[in-house]
Amino acid sequence: MLKAEDIHKSYNGLDVLKGINLSIEKEEVVSIVGASGAGKSTLLHLLGTLDTPDRGKVILNNVEVSSLTQKKMSSVRNEEIGFIFQFHNLFPEFTAIENVCIPAFIKGNKQAEAKALELLTILGLKDRKDHKPSELSGGEQQRVSVARALINDPSIVFADEPSGNLDSQSADELHKLFFDLRNKMGQTFVIVTHNMDLAGMADRKLEIKDGIITA
């Protein structure tokens, strides 16, 4: 489903990624680990088209997304890719269900509410749908952001330290949810994490060191 070929990225003369090759199969849950500053978020951003590599290719569903125009890349990003961040990045003035609908509205799908409600129900948040983020717990906020990531039926979901800001019980629930979503909906996940429980649960664990994948 997703391939990275010889990805290089430097910032201000600092070579962060020095030739990353990887491939992710449909319905895999893959974790990415490595020391702080190793380049995990940089890699996730490149794989997710939030940034472009200096050299190398990112290929999603047989399309070389890293060489698309910004406009085409934005629509691939919105329609094919879901993101979950450490700090959920929900809009504070919108309710849970409104937040979940936003990527669908951007796509031009005005009928997203039924799907959003279905996702919130699967994620155990049906009764919280009209709450604003400030009225939800950290774990609930993060589950809203999972629903938002799934609203457009993405091919792949990238999560960057998704449980980094959660207490251990909420983190465990979130981790279990990723595998439930894979098992029930066939969702593919690539997850950057420092959480060794989550990293170990994944189908594969990739480690980045010195700008390359070492294991």
Options 36-44, 54-62, 126-134, 165-173: segment touching ligand ADP (CB under 6 A): 36-44
Nearer to ligand ADP, 14 or 106 (CB): 14
Residue ranges of the alpha helices (H) in 49-161?
Answer: 70-80, 96-107, 113-122, 138-150
- 33: contact with ligand ADP by CB under 6 A: no
- 166: contact with ligand ADP by CB under 6 A: no
Instruction: Select from 33, 40, 151, 181 the one that contacts ligand ADP (CB under 6 A).
Output: 40
Residue 10: CB minimum distance to ligand ADP, A: 9
Nearer to ligand ADP, 32 or 171 (CB): 32
187: tokens are: 């969702």
- 34: contact with ligand ADP by CB under 6 A: yes
- 38: contact with ligand ADP by CB under 6 A: yes
- 16: contact with ligand ADP by CB under 6 A: yes
Residue ranges of the alpha helices (H) in the chain?
Answer: 40-47, 70-80, 96-107, 113-122, 138-150, 168-185, 196-201
- 48: contact with ligand ADP by CB under 6 A: no
Instruction: Select from 25, 37, 89, 105 the one that contacts ligand ADP (CB under 6 A).
Output: 37
Q: What are the C-alpha distances in Å from 8 to residues 54, 76, 140?
A: 6, 22, 36
175, 163 Cβ separation under 8 angstroms: yes
Instruction: Select from 2, 20, 28, 42 the one that contacts ligand ADP (CB under 6 A).
Output: 42
Residue 27: CB minimum distance to ligand ADP, A: 25
Nearest-angstrom CA–CA distance, 149 and 90: 11
- 11: contact with ligand ADP by CB under 6 A: yes
State the CB neighbour count (10 A cutoff) for residue 183: 11
- 53: contact with ligand ADP by CB under 6 A: no
b/e code 133-165 from CB counts within 10 Å (16+ = b): beebebbbbbbbbbbbbbbbebbbbbbbbbbeb
List the one residue out of 208, 146, 190 whose CA is nearest residue 27: 190
Residues contributing to the site for ligand ADP (CB under 6 A): 11-12, 14, 16, 34, 36-42
